Amino acid sequence: MKIPDIIIAVDGYSSTGKSSLAKKIARKFDFLYLDSGALYRGVTLFAQEEMLISRLGTVSPALQEALGRLELHFDAEGRLCMGARCIEQQIRSMEVSAQVSPVAAVPYVRAWVDEKLHEFGRRGRIVMDGRDIGTAVFPNAELKIFMTASEQVRAQRRYDELVAKGETPLLEEVVKNLRERDYIDSHRETAPLRQAADAFVLDNSDMTFEEELAWVQGLIQGKFGIQ
């Protein structure tokens, strides 16, 4: 199945499996996959290392100027790098997860990330996942998917992911982090997480990955009249 050079936006709540689905779509249809959350995580790690964020998540105004010397890019395997250093593993830690939402709520951080996303998006034929791709970054994306799932299912997925990476999280901590992130992401002033009016909703609480894929494939076939 060959689809045109479109932009596919996959938005939704934390730990709904956006990146797994977006990566699979990219492989299947030969699209470039871009993880916008990774950039917010990269900025958060940078702020932490530069001591520009307090323990309570208060971001120092000095971050704005400091961003001028931050260089983030994806390598050929899609891993995030800060200059010559691969930071893919570090940006997925609980420490970064705990502070990424307040950082992502800062308007100049969003403007910095958006500029990068638009640069990447210029080539078309991309699938990008995040919170505001279909509403703010690429409001004209030809296909928008909004993902959701029950809190219990999402927390368990996130917990399993962290354990698989060798971390030892408490399930209550994971639930707390999910709730906090959802709240901050949906209530911030700039580009809050919300469903675009023209997005197709995918609630995968009770779906297998194969069922999700079949759903997406059906959607693409229907929307673009491809058999």
Per residue in 203-212, is it b (16+ CB within 10 Å) or e — as a string?
Answer: ebeebeeeeb
Q: Could you give the C-alpha distances from 227 to 70, 183, 217, 220, in angstroms and in order?
A: 45, 40, 10, 10
Assess 36 for contact with ligand DC (CB under 6 A). yes
- Candidates 26, 34, 37, 143; binder of ligand DC (CB under 6 A) is 37
Kindly report the length of the chain.
Answer: 227
* Binding residues for ligand DC restricted to 66-105, rule: CB under 6 A: 100-101, 104
Distance CA 91, CA 150 (A): 25
CB of 222 to ligand DC, least distance (A): 26
DSSP secondary structure, 145-196, as one string = EEEE--HHHHHHHHHHHHHHTT----HHHHHHHHHHHHHHHHH-SSS-----
Contact code string over 165-204 relative to ligand DC, x by CB under 6 A: ----------------x---x-------------------
Stretch that binds ligand DC, among 37-45, 50-58, 62-70, 164-172 (CB under 6 A): 37-45
Which residue's CB is nearer to ligand DC, number 144 or number 181?
Answer: 181
Q: Give the DSSP letter of residue 8.
A: E
Main-chain phi, psi angles of 161, to 5 degrees = -60, -45
Assess 22 for contact with ligand DC (CB under 6 A). no
Contact code string over 117-156 relative to ligand DC, x by CB under 6 A: -------------xxxx-----------------------
CB of 135 to ligand DC, least distance (A): 9
Distance CA 70, CA 38 (A): 14
- The residues of the shown chain that bind ligand DC, judged by CB under 6 A, are 14, 36-37, 40-41, 100-101, 104, 130-133, 181, 185
